[in-house]
Amino acid sequence: MLPLDSEQTEIFEPSFEKTLDDIAPPLDKNQKTTISTQTSFEIFTPMSMTQNSVAYPQLPYFPSQRFTNSQVTETSIVNENREDNSVVVSQTLNSQTDNTDISNQRANLLEILSHDITVTTDGFKIFNNLAKVGTVKWLETALSTVGKSVINKTWKNEVAIMEHQNGYDLYVDKTVKTALECFTKEDTKICKIIKNGVVPKIDLSYISKQDNKKKCSVRQLKQSIDTICANEDLLSGCETIQVIDKKKIQSKIYDILSKIYEVFENNKMPCLVVRRSYKASLCVYENERLQCASSDAGKLRKIHFPGKLCCRRFCRLVYMLGKVYNLLENNQKLTKREIYYQIKHLVTNQEQVNRVVGDISQLVGVGPWDLNIISHSGLVYGNLRLFWASGEMTNCNTPATLIPYDLDEIIEIHSTANFILVVEKESIFHKLLEEDLPNKLARPFIMITGKGVPDINTRLFLKKLSTMLKLPVFVLVDPDLYGIRIMLNYRFGTITNCHLSEQLAVPNARWLGVFPSEIAKFGIQFQNITQREVKAINETLKYPGKKGSIEGLVKNNTFLSEAYLPVKLFNQDFI
């Protein structure tokens, strides 16, 4: 199943067939003229690995490259043996193809420079678009052309020019905190970012004072639930949860980095091959879940260095490989967001971190959770006890237990639950608890919410529970497009993570409600769908042109727990 030991391995192995000349042929001086502008970039050592005492290569990373790839004709590495263990990459720009673009940038800058400029190192990059004016090196050159010089040279790569009433301020990247000190009057909102303090609050304002006495027969309901639990079609069959040896993942990463180093040593340029995963056309629906289409060269993507298109992506990939190695080495776990903040100076946005984590997940052939990259936002409640390798035990019988993120350290799960109920929204989750649903349904069960679109950890947890406990799973979502998508997400997996669907999808989960057809039946307030949603619906499902939300079902205090859910279960009214 995973390429660690199987014959699939070579698909994911890096290939190193190209030389530097193949990818970046020498510049023909007769045809193209180069301008003197050069940019310098920091190079970060990706890791300090100690295995076999091998000193690992310094690989380049271009955090703030502002020129388009078409403008770069030559990339060379100049090792200056600097104290911080970094080296400098020099890029030469081609003035022929994008001469007008550079001229425009230069003209814009000169226009800006005709005003007074103050330079400060206490600022930070306020707006991305303003920072795109150019690199520091380039600005230094430009400043000199108008007889101005840089006052303070301790700055790094990022710069921004802020316009104000009297002229322009030039800001360089530092931390948000220092920015606050000099920028509060323009953007007090930023102040809010760093102020902490947690006051949990549940919004129950939609609950009306009315009550509904209508109830289901408890005995009939019990019988019905027993029938459901005996239905083999709803159980997860004989699937098992795979456990990955993290040492193997580490050695796989080590091998990849070793080979990259080797290729650099031989003055060739490496190329990593990963599977494309973000297109529906590359996925197939098999075994009741979304899966990668069978392997095919056309479905693989090459990321090479210094390719014009994927150079930065390659560098991010190598950098993160090193980081993941260290995470595994130290048994440390981080969320994508934490990683983003740790390497914020290297990336422009969170998406880049998400993508590179996905790439590594594909390259190594395991899920992000096996790379110690975690997410945790889901909640669980119910008759459930988790036993940990450390000897501790977690009892989930307290309202809204946070789903643990170190699922691989659970060695045993005890539960007498009859089924698992997955709820889309956290507000409904709390609402059901408040209505005392656990006692009203006559049979013990486990309730889970992923708080909207479920994160990977929640889906992994659900998969683990349904597989190990062999329980049927029911999903309760809004009768709108997004609710249905969330249901499909739990059940069949997502396109982006189709290579992980075997470990994430729960194909035996059933859609308990709320069905669009029930909008009229229960008198839920509905809104007409928008044109944008019509378009999206055509790509997923077709249903009557109305949408509602579960809140519409909360007509009175206990409608959900005393009428809707028992009747649905009693009638076995699910899809």
Q: Which residues are catalytic?
A: 341
Query: Exposed, middle or buried, 188 (CB in 10 Å: 0-12/13-18/19+)?
Result: exposed
Residue 307 binding DNA, by CB under 7 A = yes
Identify the helix (H) or strand (E) that includes residue 260.
Answer: helix 246-265
The minimum distance between CB 50 and DNA, in angstroms, equals 29
For the segment 309-368, give every residue that binds DNA (CB under 7 A).
Answer: 309-310, 312-313, 335-337, 340-341, 348-349, 351-352, 354-355
Q: With respect to DNA, which residue has the nearer C-beta, 198 or 575?
A: 198
| Under 8 Å between Cβ of 351 and 128 | no
Cα dist from 436 to 213, 441, 553, 559, 562, whole Å: 15, 9, 17, 12, 9
Distances in Å between the alpha carbon of 446 and those of 233, 253, 384?
19, 38, 7
Whole-angstrom distance, CA of residue 506 vs CA of residue 462? 8
Closest contact distance (angstroms) between CB of 536 and DNA is 6
Is 546 a binding residue for DNA by CB under 7 A? The answer is: no
Q: Are 324 and 284 in contact (CB under 8 A)?
A: no
Closer residue to DNA, CB minimum distance, 25 or 237: 25
Q: Does 543 bind DNA (CB under 7 A)?
A: no
At residue 333, φ and ψ (nearest 5 deg) are -120, 135
Burial 16-40 (b: 16+ CB within 10 A, else e): bebeeeebbeeeeeeeeeeeebbbe
Q: Least distance to DNA from the beta carbon of 153, Å? A: 27
Tell me: does residue 70 bind DNA (CB under 7 A): yes
Least distance to DNA, CB of residue 566, Å: 23
Q: Which of 139, 303, 432, 437 binds DNA (CB under 7 A)?
A: 303
Q: Establish if 193 lies at the interface with DNA (CB under 7 A).
A: yes
Q: Is 285 in the site for DNA (CB under 7 A)?
A: no
Residue 387 contacts DNA per CB under 7 A = no
Closer to DNA by Cβ: residue 374 or 563: 374
Binding region for DNA (CB under 7 A) out of 65-73, 105-113, 515-523, 558-566? 65-73
| Minimum distance from residue 553 beta carbon to DNA (Å) | 13
Q: Does 192 bind DNA (CB under 7 A)?
A: yes
Spatial contact of 495 and 290, defined as CB atoms under 8 Å apart: yes
- In the set 80, 111, 539, 575, which binds DNA (CB under 7 A)? 539
Q: How far apart are CA 419 and CA 279, in angstroms?
A: 34
Query: Which lies closer to DNA via its Cβ, residue 270 or residue 472?
Result: 270
Residues that bind DNA (rule: CB under 7 A) add up to a total of 64
Please, what is the minimum distance in Å from the beta carbon of residue 307 to DNA?
6
The only residue of 308, 345, 385, 470 in contact with DNA, by rule CB under 7 A: 308
Omega within 30 of 0 (cis) for the link into 306: yes
Nearest-CA neighbor of 220 among 435, 442, 509? 442
Q: Is 73 in the site for DNA (CB under 7 A)?
A: no
Instruction: Using the minimum distance from each CB to DNA, give the nearer residue, 348 or 394.
Output: 348
State CA 228 to chain mean position distance. Answer: 36
Q: Measure the CA–CA gap between 53 and 337, rounded to whole angstroms.
A: 32
Sort 420 into a burial class: Cβ within 10 Å, 0-12 / 13-18 / 19+. buried
Q: Segment contacting DNA (CB under 7 A): 230-238, 391-399, 411-419, 479-487?
A: 479-487
**Binding-site member from 451, 464, 546, 555 for DNA (CB under 7 A):** 451
Amino acid at 209: K
Interacting stretch for DNA, rule CB under 7 A, among 109-117, 200-208, 258-266, 510-518?
Answer: 200-208
- Closest approach of Cβ 378 to DNA, in Å? 10
Cβ within 8 Å of residue 232, ≥6 positions away: none
Among 36, 52, 205, 240, binds DNA (CB under 7 A): 205
Residue selected from 29, 197, 233, 531 as contacting DNA according to rule CB under 7 A: 197
User: Is the dihedral angle over the CA atoms 170, 176, 181, 184 positive or is it negative?
Assistant: positive
Q: How far is the CB of 92 from DNA (least distance, A)?
A: 15
Out of 115, 177, 276, 414, the residue judged to bind DNA by CB under 7 A? 276
Cα separation, 167 vs 117, in Å, equals 7
Residue number with CB closer to DNA (365 or 493): 493
| Least distance to DNA, CB of residue 571, Å | 26
Q: Does 200 bind DNA (CB under 7 A)?
A: yes
CB nearer DNA, residue 283 or residue 417: 283
Residue from 202, 218, 389, 520 binding DNA (CB under 7 A): 202
Place of tokens 């903040």: 341
Are 552 and 431 in contact by the 8 Å Cβ rule? The answer is no
Task: Quickly count: other Cβ atoms within 10 Å of residue 74's Cβ.
Answer: 16
* CA-atom Rg of the chain in angstroms: 28
Q: Which is nearer to DNA, 205 or 331 (CB)?
A: 205
- Contact indicator for 237, 274 with CB cutoff of 8 Å: no
Beta carbons within 8 Å of 561's beta carbon, 6+ residues apart: 432, 435, 436, 437, 440, 441
The encoded tokens of residue 169 equal: 């301020």
Given the complex with DNA, which of 172 and 303 has the nearer CB atom?
303
Residue 494 C-beta: closest distance to DNA, Å: 3
Position 75 contacts DNA (CB under 7 A): no
Residues forming contacts to DNA in the complex (CB under 7 A) are 68-70, 128-129, 189-190, 192-193, 195-203, 205, 276, 278, 301, 303, 307-310, 312-313, 335-337, 340-341, 348-349, 351-352, 354-355, 375, 377, 424-428, 451-456, 478, 480, 482, 485, 489, 494-497, 536, 539
